[in-house]
C-alpha cells in the first residue's frame, strides 16, 4: 500500500480539478482571483523559478498551481466552495475533515514513522474518495453515465515534460519531441476506477501493433530502437479494470503520445 503515491495522486488531481473549474468560471487569469493572497502567489512563482534554474531548461511542470502548498489548495477550495466544488464534493465540513487528515499525514514528521494499518487504509480511502468524486463530477457534466462503471485516466506524463490531463480536450498529444535510437521514454499514469478495483496498465506501439504486458504498475518505460525510426512514433497508454466488460473492446481508456525518431548517423 503506497501511501506517498496515493497522497501525490489525490493532491495532483485536486490541482488539475481546481484549474479546470476556476478557469471555466474566472478565465485564464483565475489564479489572481482564486482567493489566496498575492504574497502566496509570489511564493509559488519563486519556487517555479528555482526549479527552472535547478534543472537547466529541462522540461518541467509549468502550471503555477503545482507550486502551491497543500494548505493553499484548501484555501482555494473553501474560498470558492459555493459553486461547482460544492456540486462535486458535497458538504464543505466533510471535505475539510478529509483535507485535514491528508495534510496531517503529508507532514514530514508523520512520514518518519511507520503508519499503522488502519491509518494507511484511512489515507488511501480518503484519496480514492476525492479522486472518485472528481471522476463522477466529470461524468455527470459530460452526461456519460457509463463512466460511473469504467475507469478513466486522470493524467499521463513522460520524462520529457509532456503532460496530458482532461483539460487538453484531446486523446492524442503531438509532443514535437525528436528522439534518437537508445533514448529512454518513461511514462507515469494516474487513473481511478469508480468501483474501486485495481487498475492495470500497458503501452501499445502502433508500429507493428505491439503491446507490452498488462501490469499493476503505473510507471513503465520504452527504449527507443531502430524499428521506431520515423516521423510518427505513436505510443498509446491503455488502462483496464479486472472486470469482464470494457469500454473499448480490450481496454477502458487510452491516451496517445506521438514522437519523431531520427535515423542513426
CB 191 within 8 A of CB 153: yes
Read off φ and ψ for residue 152, nearest 5 degrees: -135, 150
- For the chain, which domains are there? 3-147 (no CATH), 152-261 (2.60.40.10)
Does pLDDT of 109 surpass 50? no
Give me the residues paired with residue 152 across strands: 192
Chain segment 161-181, per-residue pLDDT in tens: 999 998 888 999 999 999 999
Q: Half-sphere exposure (CA, 13 Å, Cβ side) for 189?
A: 28
User: Residue 4: which pLDDT band, with cuts at 50, 70 and 90?
Assistant: confident
pLDDT digits (tens, 9 = 90+) for 227-243: 999 999 999 999 999 99
Helix (H, G, I), strand (E, B) or coil at 62: coil
pLDDT, position 211: 92
Predicted local confidence at residue 37, as pLDDT: 93
Spatial contact of 225 and 264, defined as CB atoms under 8 Å apart: no
Which pLDDT belongs to residue 55?
Answer: 73
Please identify which residue in the block is written with the cell numbers 466488460.
245
Q: Is the pLDDT of residue 107 over 70?
A: no
pLDDT averaged over the chain?
A: 89
Q: Considering the chain, what percentage of its residues have pLDDT values greater than 70? A: 93
Predicted pLDDT at 1: 55
Q: Indicate whether 112 pLDDT > 50.
A: no
- The Cβ of residue 27 has, within 10 Å, a number of other Cβ atoms equal to 10
Choose the weakest-confidence range: 83-87, 107-111, 134-138, 247-251: 107-111
pLDDT, residue 142, reads 64
For residues 39-48, give the mean pLDDT: 94
pLDDT digits (tens, 9 = 90+) for 53-90: 877 656 678 889 999 999 999 999 999 999 899 999 99
Determine the pLDDT at residue 236: 96
Amino acid at each position: 500500500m503506497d501511501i506517498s503515491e496515493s497522497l501525490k495522486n489525490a493532491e495532483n488531481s485536486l490541482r488539475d480539478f481546481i484549474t479546470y473549474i476556476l478557469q471555466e468560471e474566472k478565465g485564464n487569469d483565475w489564479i489572481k482571483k482564486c482567493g489566496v493572497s498575492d504574497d502566496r502567489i509570489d511564493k509559488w512563482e519563486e519556487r517555479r523559478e528555482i526549479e527552472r534554474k535547478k534543472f537547466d531548461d529541462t522540461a518541467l511542470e509549468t502550471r503555477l498551481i503545482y507550486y502551491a502548498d497543500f494548505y493553499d489548495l484548501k484555501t482555494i477550495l473553501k474560498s470558492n466552495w459555493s459553486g461547482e466544488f460544492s456540486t462535486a464534493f458535497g458538504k464543505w465540513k466533510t471535505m475539510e475533515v478529509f483535507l485535514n487528515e491528508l495534510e496531517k499525514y503529508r507532514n514530514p514528521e508523520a512520514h518518519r514513522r511507520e503508519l499503522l494499518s488502519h491509518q494507511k487504509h484511512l489515507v488511501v480511502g480518503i484519496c480514492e474518495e476525492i479522486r472518485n468524486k472528481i471522476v463522477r463530477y466529470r461524468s455527470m457534466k459530460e452526461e456519460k453515465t457509463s463512466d460511473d462503471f469504467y475507469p478513466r485516466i486522470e493524467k499521463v506524463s513522460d520524462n520529457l515534460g509532456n503532460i496530458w490531463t482532461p483539460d487538453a480536450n484531446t486523446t492524442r498529444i503531438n509532443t514535437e519531441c525528436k528522439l534518437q535510437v537508445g533514448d529512454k521514454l518513461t511514462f507515469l499514469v494516474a487513473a481511478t476506477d469508480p468501483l474501486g478495483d485495481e487498475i492495470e496498465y500497458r503501452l501499445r506501439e502502433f508500429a507493428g501493433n505491439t503491446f507490452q504486458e498488462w501490469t499493476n504498475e503505473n510507471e513503465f518505460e520504452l527504449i527507443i530502437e531502430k524499428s521506431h525510426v520515423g516521423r510518427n512514433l505513436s505510443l498509446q497508454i491503455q488502462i483496464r479494470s479486472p472486470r469482464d466488460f470494457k469500454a473499448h473492446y480490450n481496454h477502458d481508456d487510452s491516451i496517445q503520445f506521438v514522437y519523431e525518431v531520427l535515423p542513426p548517423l
